[in-house]
Amino acid sequence: MAPVIRELNRQASVFEQLVVATAQHREMLDQVLSLFAIRPDIDLGLMQHDQDLVSFASRSLLQLSHLLTDVMPDAVLIQGDTTTVMAAALAASYHGVCIGHVEAGLRSFDRNEPFPEEINRRVTGCLADLHFAPTERARLNLLREGVAEDSIFVTGNTIIDALKSIPLEGAFEDAALNRIAFASARILLVTAHRRENHGAPLRSICRALKAIVERFDDVAIVYPVHLNPNVGSVVRDELAGADRVHLIKPVSYQDLLRLMDRSHLILTYSGGIQEEAPSFRKPVLVLRQVTERPELIEVGGGKLVGTDTTRILNEATVLLTEPVEYERMRSAQNPFGDGHAAERIVYELAEHLCRPRKPIPAARHRSYRPVLSELAATNRVLSHQAVSESAVPAPIDVAMCNVDD
């Protein structure tokens, strides 16, 4: 959401935004807020130790409902598929507030993978008024679900905007990463912590990683291990002490991007990494049976390999021994955006809230800032309240409810 927040700040004459954090994932949230220099206007601080989905969902729905009663914004913008997103959409719907869903329309068509994200997406898709889809496939998913065509806008994914704004030169923030010999080994970056993979699937993944370094003496693995004990205990049991396997603490977002940039191959469950990796020209082996981002597979930048030890080892071996196949995958163009998604989202939001719809400009990649300036200059910026007789435009109130994502 950071690029959208930044773009709305640029259009302060049109929008008055309120940035809200539920702190669903406190540690992850704080380092991202620092990186993008975002200070929430309201931090609900809802995270609790060892929280479960039901308790967090109920707390967030209640607190966000109270907040909407106090603020009464013209619109709520939410991004992604967290429980915060679902709760914010439900609360806004109960209050009759316009809902804009950023990263709309992603579907794996399996409610259990990823869980609960697939459920959160579907619920939010039923409630949203404006659907900012990252790709054409996401738009088609929404149309198949009966979403009105004129409420769907293909914008690209804001994650591409974000990564293009982050400098990656220089040393890692994590000293442990600076001790790894990136220049003398082919580095495999691994992230695998999702609850769907806990237990036997994660153990199978770890055994594949160990087999890879045993087969290739010029390969090293960097694995930021999630703090969840269901992950750490299995990973350490299988990989602690293995030669050239670096088990490190979770890294900052900036260091994660540096790792992608400097790695040779990526093995991951992460949806965000699936979107980012093509920008770094790095092949991805997706440690899942299905993905809500099939565009990566379709353009040839990734392969679904699941969690079977033999399958992972074989697919990694192909990319480590066949230069033609490796080059084919790394040459895939990123299908998730061009770095201008936030501009498109803010433009469409202004079009919806400020004046009747008109045809979307053909050159979607151009900057929409002149159009927004025109809206403010012509006093056509309206809030849900009555326009005063002085004809001074009231800024549109936009509450941002999930910088946690």
Instruction: Evaluate whether 96 touches 384 at the Cβ level (below 8 Å).
Output: no
Instruction: Evaluate whether 303 touches 286 at the Cβ level (below 8 Å).
Output: yes
DSSP helix, strand, coil percent of the chain (3-state; round to 5): 45, 15, 40
Token pair for 93: 């719907």
Does 226 qualify as catalytic in the annotation? yes
- The arrangement of strands across the sheet holding 284-286 comes to 245-248, 219-224, 186-191, 265-268, 284-286, 302-304
Does 384 qualify as catalytic in the annotation? no
Cα 49 to Cα 43: distance, rounded to the nearest angstrom = 17
Does 52 qualify as catalytic in the annotation? no
* Catalytic hit among 122, 203, 226, 384: 226
Q: Using the Cα atoms of residue 32, residue 77, residue 275 and residue 159 in order, give the sign of their dihedral.
A: negative
Task: Show the beta-strand stretches assigned E in 134-242.
Answer: 152-154, 186-191, 219-224
Does 193 qualify as catalytic in the annotation? yes
* Catalytic hit among 7, 59, 74, 81: 81
Does 49 qualify as catalytic in the annotation? no
Token pair for 32: 């991202």
* Catalytic hit among 74, 103, 238, 315: 103
CA-CA-CA-CA dihedral for 371, 389, 71, 131, to nearest 10: -30
Tell me the Ramachandran region of residue 286: left when phi exceeds 0, alpha when psi lies from -120 to 50, beta otherwise: beta
Longest dimension (CA), the chain: 77
Does 173 qualify as catalytic in the annotation? no
Instruction: Evaluate whether 83 touches 56 at the Cβ level (below 8 Å).
Output: yes
* Catalytic hit among 113, 117, 238, 276: 117
* Catalytic hit among 101, 193, 194, 244: 193
Q: Is 194 helix (H, G, I), strand (E, B) or coil?
A: coil
CA distances from 113 to 107, 290, 296 (A): 10, 7, 17
Q: Which H or E run contains 168? A: none
* Catalytic hit among 195, 203, 246, 369: 195
Q: Give the active site residues.
A: 81, 103, 117, 193, 195, 226
